[in-house]
Amino acid sequence: MAYLFTSESVSEGHPDKVADQISDALIDNFLAFDPESKVACETLVTTGQVILAGEVKSNTYLDVQQIAREVIRKIGYTKSEYMFEADSCGVLSAIHEQSADINQGVDRASKEEQGAGDQGMMFGYATNETENYMPLALDLSHALLIELANLRRENKEITYLRPDAKSQVTLEYSDDNKPQRIDAIVISTQHDDFAPEAEMLAKIKADLVGILIPRIKAKYPQYAHLFNDQITYHINPTGKFVIGGPHGDTGLTGRKIIVDTYGGKGAHGGGAFSGKDPSKVDRSAAYATRHIAKNLVAAGLCDEVLVQVSYAIGVAKPTSINVVTYGTSKVNMTDGEISKKVEEIFDMRPYFIEQRLKLRNPIYSETAAYGHMGRQPETVTKTFQLPNGEPKTVTVELFTWEKLDFVDKVKVAFGL
């Protein structure tokens, strides 16, 4: 019997994502000037206020207020009527030095023996139902909001959009787990107060169905066949959405971990990513397990896979590595046997993850909205600035965990 599956996404202007982006901008600035920085930074945003808190061990000093304001400005909170605006909001920093008790469990005389920054389990997932090996409902949810943000910045076809937005896509799957069609789309977007409510809502729905959806179908032709005349559209279903962003709802770092990963497919270990340097395995090992999962599926080992790893704080070697292929494996091996071989191919000690994926670079701001997984690897040049005006330009690789650079090794190891 056919079944429905749903995933959601949130825009860069959503309060929780504003907090994530500020936290990751701080990470990038610390790593740009001191690659060995240890950082765990949380951000809270509310009406007219940003509060930074966390622990840092670094040889550099930053103007954290200026960094936070630049992020807010880039997102689009630049008008006083939003009640949260880049130049006028207060920024309070309560960042202090990292606990020596935690640090002693991570740093080692031999870098190779670097311990995990915390205990816990992390998951990586991949499926061949999309070109980027991501769950389709989440991929579509992200795509809707990325294109909505493009329309907002262009300010031509739709001129009333504000930064805060959420999306949700429900897909119908066949008995053999193949996506058949889109059943429902939900979009709630913040907007200017430009007309009586009924007139506004009718205009917004007409624009999103008549302008946004055709742009999605044109930009992602591989998904066009999933759109149909029977889709149920819920556009701003609660009514007008003028009050939004941090003024409408307090935002906190790390509250959108399912949006950040797989939209409810696979599993999640519970640890957030943003605001954490790569010594925290919540982040680095989640990227490493995604790297493993994507390369396994791309190599043809299976159609779908979930990879779990777990750690004890201060210990380099994982306490477990487990691979689940959901019965889609193409080799005559049990999942347990596959797990053992995966452990031989990928060194999951924290130092080796950092080196393999080049994680001690300022690469995290780009991850903080529209998902950490399924993104396009690319090389970019970025410039950072110290409080004294001294700039530093670095060239870095983004989304290294999305590279298919282990496919050949997987094929050789499994005889594919």
* pLDDT (0 to 100) of residue 386: 86
* pLDDT (0 to 100) of residue 105: 53
* pLDDT (0 to 100) of residue 310: 98
What top-level class would CATH report for the domain 3-10+135-244?
alpha beta
Please state, in angstroms and rounded to a whole number, the distance separating the CA atoms of residues 286 and 139: 18
Helix (H, G, I), strand (E, B) or coil at 42: strand
pLDDT tens-digit series, residues 338-385:
999 999 999 999 999 999 999 999 999 999 999 999 999 999 999 999
219 marked among binding-site residues: no
164 marked among binding-site residues: yes
SS (H, E, C) the chain: CCEEEEEEEECCCCHHHHHHHHHHHHHHHHHHHCCCCEEEEEEEEECCEEEEEEEEECCCCCCHHHHHHHHHHHHCCCCHHHCCCCCCCEEEEEEEECCHHHHHHHCCCCHHHCCECCCEEEEEEEECCCCCCCCHHHHHHHHHHHHHHHHHHHCCCCCCEEEEEEEEEEEEECCCCCEEEEEEEEEEEEECCCCCHHHHHHHHHHHHHHHHHHHHHHHCHHHHHHCCCCCEEEECCCCCCCCCHHHHCCEECCCCHHHHCCCCCCCCCCCCCCCECCCCHHHHHHHHHHHHHHHHHHCCCCCEEEEEEEECECCCCCCEEEEECCCCCCCCCCHHHHHHHHHHHCCCCHHHHHHHHCCCCCCCHHHCCCCCCCCCCEEEEEEEECCCCCEEEEEEEECHHHCCCCHHHHHHHHCC
14 marked among binding-site residues: yes
* pLDDT (0 to 100) of residue 387: 86
% residues pLDDT > 70 (the chain): 97
The answer to whether the CB of 236 falls within 8 A of the CB of 204 is yes
Q: Which residues pair with 187 in a beta bridge?
A: 167, 235
340 marked among binding-site residues: no
Spell out the per-residue pLDDT of the chain, length 416, in tens: 799 999 999 999 999 999 999 999 999 999 999 999 999 999 999 999 999 999 999 999 899 999 999 999 999 999 999 999 999 999 999 998 865 555 555 655 567 778 888 899 999 999 999 999 999 999 999 999 999 999 999 999 999 999 999 999 999 999 999 999 999 999 999 999 999 999 999 999 999 999 999 999 999 999 999 999 999 999 999 999 999 999 999 999 999 999 999 999 999 999 999 999 999 999 999 999 999 999 999 999 999 999 999 999 999 999 999 999 999 999 999 999 999 999 999 999 999 999 999 999 999 999 999 999 999 999 999 999 988 888 999 999 999 999 999 999 999 999 99
Please state, in angstroms and rounded to a whole number, the distance separating the CA atoms of residues 405 and 134: 17
Please state, in angstroms and rounded to a whole number, the distance separating the CA atoms of residues 340 and 344: 7
24 marked among binding-site residues: no
Numbered ranges of CATH 3.30.300.10 in the chain = 3-10+135-244, 120-128+278-414
The answer to whether the CB of 71 falls within 8 A of the CB of 13 is no
Report which secondary-structure segment, H or E, holds 309. Answer: strand 304-311
Q: Which two tokens stand for residue 101?
A: 């008790």
100 marked among binding-site residues: no
- Topology of domain 120-128+278-414, CATH: GMP Synthetase; Chain A, domain 3 (3.30.300)
- Phi, psi for 382 (deg, rounded to 5): -125, 145
118 marked among binding-site residues: no
User: Structure pTM?
Assistant: 0.96
Burial class of residue 341 in the structure, from the number of CB atoms within 10 Å of its CB (0-12 exposed, 13-18 middle, 19+ buried)? middle
* pLDDT (0 to 100) of residue 114: 84
- Phi, psi for 393 (deg, rounded to 5): -110, 130
**H helices then E strands: how many in the chain?**
12, 13
16 marked among binding-site residues: yes
* pLDDT (0 to 100) of residue 304: 98
* pLDDT (0 to 100) of residue 103: 55
Q: Which two tokens stand for residue 329?
A: 């494996």
181 marked among binding-site residues: no
409 marked among binding-site residues: no
111 marked among binding-site residues: no
98 marked among binding-site residues: yes
Which residues contact residue 331 at a Cβ distance below 8 angstroms, ignoring those fewer than 6 apart? 301, 338, 414, 415, 416
